[in-house]
Amino acid sequence: MEVVNNPMNEFYDQFCRLSYDTLKVKIAAIRKQKHDARIYLCKRKQELRDAQAKARRIRNTEKRKWLSQAKSIFEVDFIAKAKPDFWQWLEKVRQCPHIHLDVTPGSHAVEPFYNCRWCGATVACSCRYPANAVINGRSDHWARRESTYNDLFRDIFVRPGICYRCRKDESLGAAYQYGKDRIERLFWRELLQEEGNVWLEIQQPDYDSLDQIIRASSWKGPKCKWGFASVILTRDAGGLIHRVLERALRIKKILRKAGRQETIKNILIDFVKSYCRLQNSVNNLYALEDDLVDDDGIPFDYKDMPYTLHLPSSYGNQEMWQSYDLEKHPEKAMDMPYPFQLALLSEFIKEEPLPILCDTRRVAKERLAPLLDDYDAVHDFAWAIEAVKLQDIGLFLKMLVQSWAKDRSVLETRKDEFLRNLKERRLFWAIWEYDQYVSGNYSGFENRIKKDVGLRKWLLSSLELPDVDSFLNNGDIITNVVGMSHIPWHAYLDLDRYIGKGGFYLLREPDNPSDANAVMVYLEGFGETGYIKRSLAGILAPLMDRGVEIGAELFARHYPHSDLDMTLHLRLKQSTAPLKPPETAKKYKKRPQKKQKSVVVKQDSDQERAPR
């Protein structure tokens, strides 16, 4: 008696064979990836040991300490080639309190970096970068153009209390393009985390059994408008589709256990592709193409093409459904071949519960709203007083404006404390600077401090400012040097050695075409470094023309990221004795580049020798 082969059994056997072959390929790829990762790690460890062995001849104690902590050959190479002034700067960064910070341009809101104006380092907060998080990128020191590996020196560049959340400083929050309201700008990272928590509360895990998948996929909801999945699953008389889905679910679990997240949809699509290629090869049909177009770019008519040539990507095309009249009569899908049905089913199968409609962003904002109470005017006023004690005019004015904008009553009620600190630290000149700034004069810090006419009016009415002569006689004028963006001095000159030690001179330039009252700032041994701002030069120029001697010394040296005119801050004081003229000879030059040694080859010999 002749045995008749069941077409459904033959198709299922082909599915088992092809899906098993695909599974073996994927498992082999996973194992190879893990094996290559182990080999790569061993290779990098061996390279690191070889590099550290070559660096053992280094006797510098500081370098040897960092070499023992290096984790790659790049870090070993960086430590070996680092110059002595870099290690001096690194110690400066270690001791810097990082009081005045700015968000670096292009810094991501979730993991921001900050530029310290006191030491010039790019720093980050440890609450954003835990110990197991790798820090990508480098820290660019503006004054020397050095690049340091943040992950190597993470204990120096990553500290607690750096970010806006730890400091409760709204000016250090995310950029405005990350959100429209304060919560989105200040708590962008927390907002993402809270949204994820809200979603986890309503999200259910993937279906773990075939009955759950069939029950969910058989429902004709908004996501399966034409009901293809419902028709195919409910009219599966021979149970072939159910058997295929059961095996696909088993393959999904095997791949998940091996460390790869796979979906039933991808498993079915991989089988349909393999089946189409096999049928095309056996029946000598057209080659399988990704785009269903002819050589002239004209789409094929679906009716003129064999079923085996339909790619899974085309089953989401509504035109194809219309060609076979499937849009109005989904039940006609059962007349199509099994590969066609599986590929169509893969587009509408449900492997996880339908998401519950919930505005996670709104719920997250409601939970984070109480955090805004910490960002109040009292906190900003405390930072302004701290800046007065540190005599940082830029930071003082920035926090003062923020406190006034949030709640002006804080300044009014703590007026006595405010005046007492200004008097003790001799920083009344900062009020004069803000007055000139709001009046429209250039100050150098336009990008960081907002103009508030109301604050200016309150300050002038509440404080009795001395005249400029009194400021000059007492040495209370502290001003920044402007016009520094055109002077190429920052790449090879370290000004920390000049703080409070002289070396700076004020020279009149009455013939300056831009300003007849121009007062140039001259550094002895170097030359021109910048100019006194116009609002102050207009007062100093007549005095200097009458022979008044005005001394200048470096009061503070900052490392701003973009506002170069906030780099040097001078303290000016009228001198009772004549000042000696500055030396005009330039002593400081750029560090010469080392030339590579050339090799001389004798013409009559193959021996090579290097020049002495």
Here the tokens at position 60 are 């510098």
**Same domain, residue pair 400 and 515:** no
Cβ contact 509:521 at 8 Å: no
- If asked whether residues 257 and 233 sit together in one domain, one would say yes
Query: For the chain, how many structural domains are there in total?
Result: 3
Which residue blocks in 376-452 are alpha helix, DSSP H? 377-390, 393-406, 408-413, 415-424, 429-438
What residues in the chain have per-residue pLDDT under 70? 1-5, 134-150, 174-178, 219-227, 283-324, 355, 446-447, 486-494, 584-612
Residue 221 has what pLDDT?
52
Number of neighbouring beta carbons within 10 Å of residue 201? 11
Residue 407's Cα: distance from chain center in Å? 32
Residue 163 domain-assigned (yes or no): no
494 within some domain:
yes
Which of 325, 346, 367 is where one domain is finished? 346
77: Cβ–Cβ under 8 A, 6 or more apart, which residues?
51
- What pLDDT digit, counting tens, does each position of 345-359 carry? 887 788 887 767 788
CA distances from 345 to 274, 313, 491 (A): 17, 12, 65
pLDDT value of residue 138: 55
Q: What is the pLDDT of residue 57?
A: 84
Task: Please list the residues that pair with 527 across neighbouring strands.
Answer: 523
Same domain, 556 and 508: yes
CA-wise closest residue to 361 among 196, 502, 600, 114: 196
Amino acid letter, residue 166: C
Residues 454 and 483 in one domain: no
Q: 488 in a domain, yes or no?
A: yes
pLDDT at 254: 92
Spatial separation of the C-alpha atoms in residues 14 and 283, rounded to whole Å = 16
Domain interval for residue 413:
376-465
How many CA atoms lie within 13 Å of 274's alpha carbon, on the beta-carbon side?
Answer: 18
Q: Quick one: pLDDT at residue 520? A: 92
Together in a domain, 214 and 330 = yes
Query: What is the dihedral angle through the alpha carbons of 93, 145, 553, 393, rounded to the nearest 10 degrees?
Result: -60
Question: What residue has token string 């149970």?
Answer: 239
Same domain for 297 and 216 = yes
Please list the residues that pair with 478 across neighbouring strands. Answer: 571
Looking at residue 146, what is its pLDDT? 52
Q: How many CB atoms lie within 10 A of CB 188?
A: 19
In a domain, 492, yes or no: yes
Residues 109, 401: Cα–Cα separation, whole Å = 23
Q: Is residue 342 part of a domain?
A: yes
Closest CA to 112 of 121, 102, 100, 103: 103
**Domain boundary pick from 465, 490, 523:** 465
Cα end-to-end distance, the chain, whole Å: 100
530 beta partners:
521
Coil, helix or strand at residue 453: helix
Phi and psi at residue 102, to the nearest 5°: -130, 145
Q: Can you give the pLDDT at residue 442?
A: 85
What's the CA angle centered on 444, arms 466 and 168, to 5 degrees?
Answer: 90
The answer on 444 and 337 residing in a single domain is no
- Which of 405, 433, 465 marks a domain boundary? 465
Please indicate, yes or no, if residue 184 is contained in any of the structural domains: no
Q: pTM of this prediction?
A: 0.71
Greatest extent of the chain over all pairs of C-alpha atoms, in Å: 128
CATH number reported for the structural domain that contains residue 518 in this entry: 3.30.70.2330
Task: Tell whether 479 and 430 lie within a shared domain.
Answer: no
C-alpha dist (Å) from residue 571 to 421, 475, 504, 514: 19, 7, 10, 24
227 plus 307 within the same structural domain? yes
Q: What order do you get walking across the sheet with 114-116 strand by strand? A: 101-103, 114-116, 122-125, 158-159
Helix pair angle (240-258, 210-217), 10° resolution: 120
* 118 belongs to a structural domain: no
Evaluate whether residue 62 is within a structural domain: no
Same-domain check for residues 457 and 533: no
Statement to judge: residues 385 and 315 lie in one domain: no
Neighbouring-strand partners of residue 550: 574
595: DSSP letter: P
Q: What is the per-residue pLDDT for 611? A: 39
Same domain, yes or no, for 311 and 233? yes
